[in-house]
Structure 1
Amino acid sequence: MEQKKEIQPTSIFSTDRPIKWIDNKNALKDFLLLIDPFKPIAIDIEGDSLHHYPEKLCVVSLCQGQHLAVVDCLKNDLYDLWDILSRSEWICHGMDYDLKMLRKAGCPQPRTIFDTHIAAKLCGFEAVGYARLVSLFFQVKLTKEHQKADWSRRPLPPSLINYAAKDVLYLEKLKEILTRLLRSLGRWEWMEQSCKRIQRKIENSFLGSPKEWERIEGVHKLDYLGQSILFELQKWRKELALLRDTPPFKIIKSEDLVQISFISAHGGSIAAIPAVQRLEREVVGDLLKAIEKGKQNGTRKELPSPKKLFLFDKEAAKRFEVLKNKRDKIASFLGIDPALIASRNLLSEMALHPESGCQKLIDEDMICPWQVQLLGLSSTSD
Structure 2
Amino acid sequence: MVSLCQGRNLAVIDCLQGNLALLWDVLAATEWICHGMDYDLKMLRKSGCPQPRAIFDTHIAAKLCGFESVGYAHLVSLFFQTKLSKEHQKADWSRRPLSPSLISYTAKDVLYLEKLKEILSRLLQSLGRREWMEQSCKRIQRKIENSFLNSTQQLERMEGIHKLDSLGQSILFELQQWRQKLALLRDIPPFKIIPTEELIQMSFIVAHGGSILKIPAVKSLEKEMLGDLLQAIEKGKQNEAQKEPFVGKKLFFLDREAAKRFELLKNKRNKIASFLGIDPSLIASRTILTEMAINPKSARQKLIEDNKLCPWQADLLGI
Distance 2:115 2:5 in 1: 11
Distance 1:141 1:331 in 2: 31
Checking the alignment, whether the CA contact within 8 Å between 2:166 and 2:240 is kept in structure 1 is no
Q: Does 1:330 align with 2:272?
A: yes
What's 1:195 paired with? 137
TM-score, normalised relative to structure 2: 0.81
Structure 1 residues 213-292: aligned runs within 5 Å: 213-219=155-161, 221-222=162-163, 226-232=165-171, 235=174, 249=191, 253-255=195-197
Q: Does 1:102 align with 2:44?
A: yes
What's 1:132 paired with? 74
Distance 2:19 2:205 in 1: 48
Q: Give the superposition deviation at 1:208.
A: 2.6
Checking the alignment, whether the CA contact within 8 Å between 2:265 and 2:317 is kept in structure 1 is yes
Q: Which amino acid aligns with 1:304?
A: F
Q: Give the superposition deviation at 1:194.
A: 0.4
Q: Give the superposition deviation at 1:226.
A: 3.6
State the SS of the aligned residue for 1:114.
strand
TM-score, normalised relative to structure 1: 0.69
Q: Which amino acid aligns with 1:331?
A: A
Distance 1:72 1:276 in 2: 32
Q: Give the superposition deviation at 1:173.
A: 0.5
Question: Would the alpha carbon gap of residues 115 and 278 (structure 1) be closer, same or farther in structure 2, given more than 3 Å must change?
Answer: closer
Q: Which amino acid aligns with 2:147?
A: S
Identity of aligned residues (%): 66
What's 1:358 paired with? 300
Q: Give the superposition deviation at 1:73.
A: 2.1
Q: Does 1:85 align with 2:23?
A: no
Q: Give the superposition deviation at 1:254.
A: 3.1
What's 1:166 paired with? 108
Match among 333, 343, 368 for residue 285 of structure 2: 343
Could you give the per-residue CA deviations for residues 262-298 of structure 1, whole angstroms, max 9, x where no partner exists? 8999x9xx9xxxx969876xx9xx99xx8xx98xx99
Distance 2:240 2:44 in 1: 38
Checking the alignment, whether the CA contact within 8 Å between 1:237 and 1:251 is kept in structure 2 is no
Tell me, which stretches of 5 or more residues in structure 1 are unaligned? 1-58, 378-382
How many residues align? The count is: 303
Distance 1:109 1:238 in 2: 21
Distance 1:78 1:253 in 2: 28
What's 1:177 paired with? 119
Distance 1:157 1:177 in 2: 33
What's 1:152 paired with? 94
Q: CA RMSD in A?
A: 3.5
Q: Larger Rg: 1 or 2?
A: 1
Tell me, which stretches of 5 or more residues in structure 2 are unaligned? 220-225
Checking the alignment, whether the CA contact within 8 Å between 1:122 and 1:336 is kept in structure 2 is yes
Distance 1:237 1:104 in 2: 13
